[in-house]
């Protein structure tokens, strides 16, 4: 992994392939279209192109539901087109970054299809399958809404923290991890310049998969507390780095929601899991009705473990449209401070901490990104 920190002075350009440049005239942007614009991209002075997913996929979640990690979606071209893009970009000193999506795959992936066909096969252990006679195994809520469990024809349930077409991969299984590492290195051997790593803080789940007190009228509970940055995830991330990234000159950018300020060193420090990460606190300042001045002091926060109680305490009656307007809010800083940080959820505290902790530890470095859609 690139530890010389030269990337901090680089510029990345994000491309959503579907709408960037259509080379064959079918109305859909493609890899050849991107290759045709490399001279233009070079003229902008960019160093990296972050390519949104172009893998084989049924496109249930914009390509983040991957059915084959070593194949290109025909919508965007072929593997030969991808090889050409990598080679031509290299000539211009541009590195290609791809999305690495390994918290989950598509339900159309060969591994999952084998698991459906044979509950006793090796691939069945790559996923979180559970038997349950009384409905879903627990009351966790998917981030896309509804239960985080889906039943298959033979009666088993599988976990999906996101879409039901994105079954979660079971990182507790060493054989699965080996297959993922082989795939990551296969791409890096091709000349890939690095990875934007999707939903990476969800790899480790609370081992008992137990239900929690509901936080909504649907009887379900958000899955953040038992699945996001859960204790022990560092073992997985260290192994991933050592078996893949450390062997190459590559940049790694983690989509790492839920990382508290005091853990940034573990994630992006000198011996961190990744080169850098995305800081989501800017986009989540108004969670639960709070504002930036609410959670400045990390040492004032309550101990973890009170998520359900705190969420229930935060529930409020519906307000009128005018009252909901941020510009017309009547909440004063003093009122906001009195309601937080002692009575808010650990997940909110984590989000605030990444931005407003008082420690002098290194904060996420901001690689400049230009986005083209």
CATH code of residue 25: 3.20.20.80
Same domain, 140 and 209: no
Q: What pLDDT is attached to residue 119? A: 98
State the SS3 of 256-325.
CCCCCHHHHHHHHCCCCCCCEECCCHHHHCCHHHCCHHHHCCHHHCCCCCCHHHHHHHHCCCCCCHHHHC
Range of the domain at 16: 6-105+172-283+362-372
- 261 within a domain of the structure (yes/no): yes
Same domain, 58 and 183: yes
Q: What is the pLDDT along the chain (373 residues), one digit of tens a residue?
A: 656 578 889 999 999 999 999 999 999 999 999 999 999 999 999 999 999 999 999 999 999 999 999 999 999 999 999 999 999 999 999 999 999 999 999 999 999 999 999 999 999 999 999 999 999 999 999 999 999 999 999 999 999 999 999 999 999 999 999 999 999 999 999 999 999 999 999 999 999 999 999 999 999 999 999 999 999 999 999 999 999 999 999 999 999 988 888 899 999 999 999 999 987 766 555 444 444 444 443 333 334 444 444 444 444 444 444 433 333 333 343 443 333 333 344 444 444 443 333 333 333 344 445 445 4
Same domain, 190 and 243: yes
What distance in Å separates the CA atoms of residue 158 and residue 169, rounded to the nearest whole number? 10
Same domain, 292 and 277: no
Same domain, 49 and 179: yes
Same domain, 233 and 100: yes
Residues annotated as part of the active site: 198, 255
CATH of the domain at 155: 3.90.400.10
What distance in Å separates the CA atoms of residue 161 and residue 91, rounded to the nearest whole number? 40
What distance in Å separates the CA atoms of residue 10 and residue 45, rounded to the nearest whole number? 9
- 164 within a domain of the structure (yes/no): no
Two tokens, residue 47: 């160093």
- 83 within a domain of the structure (yes/no): yes
Q: Which residue has the tokens 């991933």?
A: 240
Q: What pLDDT is attached to residue 262? A: 86
Same domain, 184 and 320: no
Same domain, 98 and 40: yes
Q: Which residues contact 324 (CB under 8 A, 6 or more apart)?
A: none
Q: What pLDDT is attached to residue 280? A: 72
What distance in Å separates the CA atoms of residue 238 and residue 200, rounded to the nearest whole number? 12
Q: What pLDDT is attached to residue 261? A: 81
- 312 within a domain of the structure (yes/no): yes
Same domain, 99 and 115: no
DSSP helix/strand/coil, 150 = strand
Helices (H) and strands (E) in the chain, counts: 13, 14
- 1 within a domain of the structure (yes/no): no
Same domain, 98 and 235: yes
- Domains contained in the chain, number: 3
Same domain, 321 and 222: no
- 118 within a domain of the structure (yes/no): yes
Beta strands of 166-220 (E only): which ranges? Answer: 194-197
Same domain, 54 and 177: yes
- 227 within a domain of the structure (yes/no): yes
Say whether the peptide bond before residue 202 is cis (omega within 30 degrees of 0).
no
The whole model's pTM is what? Answer: 0.79
């Amino acid at each position: 992994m690139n530890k010389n920190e030269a990337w901090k002075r680089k510029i990345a350009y994000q491309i959503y392939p579907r709408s960037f440049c259509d080379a064959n005239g079918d109305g859909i942007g493609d890899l050849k279209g991107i290759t045709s614009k490399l001279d233009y991209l070079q003229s902008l002075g960019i160093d990296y192109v972050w390519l949104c997913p172009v893998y084989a996929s049924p496109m249930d979640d914009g390509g983040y539901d991957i059915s084959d990690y070593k194949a290109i979606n025909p919508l965007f071209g072929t593997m030969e087109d991808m090889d050409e893009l990598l080679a031509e970009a290299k000539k211009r000193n541009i590195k290609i970054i791809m999305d690495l999506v390994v918290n989950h795959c598509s339900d159309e992936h060969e591994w999952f299809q084998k698991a459906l066909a044979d509950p006793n096969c090796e691939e069945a252990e790559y996923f979180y399958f559970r038997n349950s006679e009384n409905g879903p195994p627990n009351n966790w809520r998917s981030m896309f809404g509804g239960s985080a469990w889906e039943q298959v024809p033979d009666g088993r349930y599988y976990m999906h923290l996101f879409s039901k077409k994105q079954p979660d991969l079971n990182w507790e299984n060493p054989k699965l991890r080996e297959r993922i590492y082989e795939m990551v290195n296969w791409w890096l051997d091709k000349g890939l310049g690095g990875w934007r790593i999707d939903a990476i803080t969800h790899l480790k789940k609370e081992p008992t998969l137990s239900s929690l007190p509901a936080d909504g009228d649907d009887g379900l509970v958000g899955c953040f507390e038992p699945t996001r940055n859960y204790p022990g995830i560092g073992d997985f991330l260290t192994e991933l780095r050592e078996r893949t990234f450390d062997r190459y000159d590559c940049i790694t950018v983690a989509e790492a929601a839920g990382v508290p300020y005091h853990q940034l060193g573990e994630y992006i420090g000198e011996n961190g899991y990744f080169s850098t990460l995305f800081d989501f606190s800017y986009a989540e300042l108004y969670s639960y009705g709070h504002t930036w001045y609410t959670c400045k002091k990390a040492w004032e926060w309550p101990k973890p473990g009170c998520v359900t109680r705190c969420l229930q305490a935060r529930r409020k009656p519906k307000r009128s449209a005018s009252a909901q307007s941020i510009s017309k809010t009547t909440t004063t800083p003093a009122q906001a401070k009195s309601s937080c940080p002692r009575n808010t959820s650990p997940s909110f505290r984590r989000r605030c901490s990444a931005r407003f902790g008082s420690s002098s530890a290194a904060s996420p470095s901001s690689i400049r990104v230009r986005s083209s859609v």
